[in-house]
Structure 1
């Protein structure tokens, strides 16, 4: 069970995942040993699923973002499984959610620029299994690029 101290550890790590155990312990009001133990327990329980760098897409020439609304022509198990497998392996799709209702999915796609996105749309998105309709909207501004969970 996650208690208030565990939540504080998680909140703190969402802001700075590279924080040392000593600094984390000081931040949450524990000594190092119990803080380290709690951290390991949070990792073992699956509450913490990993650590990674947050990279500015524009800094690596991927500053163009589109949201793509996908409607499938059928939603049988085989089509859904095949579609989701192709989406999962596609590196340009950085976020994907299955939705209730219409559309069936929303995908976040990164590209270099409009021309790069158009090529990607024509060559890859349209060939995803079971696609009936694709609608894109371009992201003007990302207001919460590093938002964590509301702990």
Structure 2
């Protein structure tokens, strides 16, 4: 069971995943050994599923974002499995959620610019399995790109 100290560890790591165990322990009010043990338990149980670097998209030439609303022609297990497999494998699609109602999915796509997005849309998005309709909206400004959970 996650207690208040575990939540504080998680909140702290969401803000700085590279924090040393010593600094983390000091931040949450524990000594190093129990903090390290709690951290290992959180990792082993899958509560912490990994660590990663947050990369600024425009710094690597990927400053264009679009949200794509996808409606499928039919919603059966085979179509869903094929669609989701292809979406999961596509590196330009950085986020994907299945929704209740219409549309069926929302995808976040990142590209260099509008021209590259248009080519991606025409060649890859339209050929995803089961697609009936695609609607895009362009992201003007990303206010909260990767916020942590509200622990």
Q: Shift of residue 146 of structure 1?
A: 2.8
Q: Shift of residue 145 of structure 1?
A: 1.4
Which structure 2 residues correspond to residues 1-151 of structure 1 after superposition, within 5 A?
1-151=1-151
Q: Shift of residue 115 of structure 1?
A: 0.1
Unaligned segments of structure 1, at least 5 residues:
none
Separation of aligned partners in 2, 1:126 and 1:88: 16
Aligned to 1:124, the other structure's residue is in SS state helix
Q: Return the TM-score normalized by structure 1.
A: 0.99
Q: CA RMSD in A?
A: 0.4
- Where in structure 1 do 4 or more consecutive aligned residues deviate above 2 Å? none
Separation of aligned partners in 2, 1:57 and 1:124: 21
| Alignment deviations for residues 44-100 of structure 1 (CA, whole Å, 9 cap, x no partner) | 111000000000011110100000000000001000000000000000000000000
* Number of aligned positions between the proteins: 151
Separation of aligned partners in 2, 1:30 and 1:145: 31
| Alignment deviations for residues 101-135 of structure 1 (CA, whole Å, 9 cap, x no partner) | 00000000000000000000000000000000000
Separation of aligned partners in 2, 1:52 and 1:96: 18
Separation of aligned partners in 1, 2:18 and 2:91: 25
Aligned to 2:12, the other structure's residue is in SS state helix
Separation of aligned partners in 1, 2:5 and 2:121: 46
